[in-house]
Amino acid sequence: MGEFIAIMFPSAGEAISKLSKSFPNIDQVKNLFKQLDFDNDGFITKAEMGESSHRFSPQEIDSIFALGDINDDGAIDLEEFIGVMYPSASTVVNRLRAKYHNMNEVKRAFAGIDKNGDGLISKEEMYQCDTFNSQEIEALFTLGDSNNDGEIDLEEFIGVLYPVVAQALLKFTKDIHNVEDARFLFKQLDKDSDGLLSQEELRKCGTTFSSKEIEALFAVGDINSDGEIDLNEFINVMCPGATTVISRISAGFNGVQDIKKCFEEMDTNCDGKISRCEMAQYSHLNEQEVNAVFELGDADRDGEIDLQEFIGVMTTSSPVAYKEAGEVVTVGDMEIYKVGEGVKCIIWCHDLAGFSGADRTRQLVDKLAALGYLILIPNFFGDKDCGSLADTQWVKSVSDWSTIRDTWVERIYPWLRDHLGVRCVGVVGTGWGAYAACRLASYIYICIYI
């Protein structure tokens, strides 16, 4: 098809040839696609290309869409884009895909090639298996070796020969910018809070993922083949670059003592924490490696890594357990979870799960506080246990407005105004907390911004 269009539309061939020279490897092509896909929907349009900072000429845009937009829907996905930039490799791989009808066949083919069982296949291993000819091997590595390390792992292999994987992972990861986002999404998907995701949970969680896409996620992520994905496996899928880099770094340590020694050498000011600057200056890590360590290891997002975080990331290639960023303070006889700083305050009225944050309330609040707000969660239930909406007597007991009002007017608001210097207050209510939020909103002097 590409050769035929190049004959019938020669200017397109010239334009693509010029573009290909500017982006000589597959990794650069993939990065270009992400830059052009402004709305992160997995497709690029002519409008997006025209608005990009790369300054494509109208002829170049028309050429790419003439060659890539096969179904003429006005949009090009990643696979089509790669097909335009690497037409010969794409043609060969498309021919290979016809040999594999499902995910299991692709995984069996990978296992057959990976003779040393290290989870990676090299060109030498491919030549020895007599399954692919030299042209096919070159095409597989051109399209599959996305990190240009000379080897292809299972994720890369499946992504080339079973492209629904690449499409699924693009949908899964489009809003994942760092490990904290991946951890947050995992907890949202883990409805039964057992620390594991099953295919059935993903089907029932209200996502738009198809059965094939869910199957693709599990084919890549379920490393121990137990039928479920834990947090570490999930992060490996959502942030593969960071975990790959950490695995490479941690291979240089012989044990925890080596890790501690390395930490002490980097901690030049001996404050028990290392900053990005310290790590870059007093280690052999490059910028990519430093970023990966902080992306995975800085669990509390304070911009520094303590010894526990450093050991955690180096021994597991995954983040240590989530730690709350705020503190519990007492105002009068009421406990309040306080996080963040600023003159703009948000009162978060908790739901039936209560003040303790058992349902990720505090994690949500910590995330919001990072945007520059002071967030407070008053313990509206006091010493009462959490309950259920089905228990009407319990609901009545915790919904006594006169008690809540007195606590607010006499204790919390004066403390905000006089002690914390708050100038404007907004309220947020979730579940039962919507009741308290609406009541608090009746005070004009309180809710300047809601």
Write down the domain spans for the chain.
2-85, 89-162, 165-238, 241-316, 327-440
90-137 pLDDT, tens digit per residue, is: 666 777 777 776 666 777 788 788 877 777 888 888 888 877 777 778
Q: 316 near 387, Cβ under 8 Å?
A: no
Q: Which CATH class is domain 241-316?
A: mainly alpha
287-336 pLDDT, tens digit per residue, is: 767 877 787 777 777 788 888 888 877 776 544 445 678 899 998 888 99
pLDDT given for residue 111 in this prediction? 78
Phi, psi of 369 (to 5 degrees): -65, -30
Which contacts of 65-68 are long-range, i.e. CB under 8 A and separated by 24 or more positions? 66/5, 66/9, 66/12, 67/1, 67/2, 67/5, 67/12, 67/16
pLDDT given for residue 288 in this prediction? 64
Are the folds of 89-162 and 327-440 the same?
no
pLDDT given for residue 374 in this prediction? 93
Nearest to 241 by CA among 185, 179, 302: 179
pLDDT given for residue 242 in this prediction? 62
Query: What is the dihedral angle through the alpha carbons of 300, 306, 311, 317, rounded to the nearest 10 degrees?
Result: 40
pLDDT given for residue 346 in this prediction? 92
Mean pLDDT for the chain overall:
77
Q: Three-state SS across 397-444?
A: HHCCHHHHHHHHHHHHHHHHHHHCCCCEEEEEECCCHHHHHHHHCCCC
Q: Three-state SS across 354-404?
A: CCCCCCCHHHHHHHHHCCCCEEEEECCCCCCCCCCCCCHHHHHHHCCHHHH
Q: Which CATH superfamily is domain 2-85 in?
A: EF-hand (1.10.238.10)
Helix (H) or strand (E) holding 77: strand 75-77
Cα separation, 326 vs 307, whole angstroms: 20
Phi, psi of 188 (to 5 degrees): -70, -40
pLDDT given for residue 59 in this prediction? 78
Q: Three-state SS across 275-309?
A: CHHHHHHCCCCCHHHHHHHHHHHCCCCCCCEEHHH
Cα separation, 195 vs 230, whole angstroms: 6
Rounded to the nearest 10 degrees, what angle do helices 231-238 and 164-173 cross at?
A: 100
- Please provide the CATH number assigned to the domain covering 327-440: 3.40.50.1820
Mean pLDDT over residues 359-364, rounded? 75
pLDDT band at 338 (very low <50, low <70, confident <90, very high): very high
pLDDT given for residue 40 in this prediction? 73
Q: 102 near 36, Cβ under 8 Å?
A: no
Whether residue 396 has pLDDT greater than 50: yes
Q: 298 near 305, Cβ under 8 Å?
A: yes
Whether residue 337 has pLDDT greater than 90: yes
Cα separation, 263 vs 242, whole angstroms: 19
**Residue appearing with tokens 């008053």:** 378
pLDDT given for residue 449 in this prediction? 39
Nearest to 38 by CA among 50, 26, 27: 50
What the block records as the tokens of 160 is 């080339």
Q: 363 near 187, Cβ under 8 Å?
A: yes
pTM, 2 dp: 0.41
What end-to-end distance do the CA atoms of the chain give, in Å?
Answer: 57
Lowest-confidence pick of 110-114, 166-170, 224-228: 166-170
Lowest-confidence pick of 160-164, 360-364, 375-379, 388-392: 160-164
Whether residue 450 has pLDDT greater than 50: no
- Percent residues over pLDDT 70 in the chain: 77
CATH number 1.10.238.10 given to 165-238: yes
64-73 pLDDT, tens digit per residue, is: 787 777 767 7
pLDDT band at 148 (very low <50, low <70, confident <90, very high): low
Q: 421 near 341, Cβ under 8 Å?
A: no
What the block records as the tokens of 322 is 């989530």
349 SS3 class: strand
Cα separation, 38 vs 54, whole angstroms: 13
The CATH T-level fold of domain 89-162 is Recoverin; domain 1 (1.10.238)
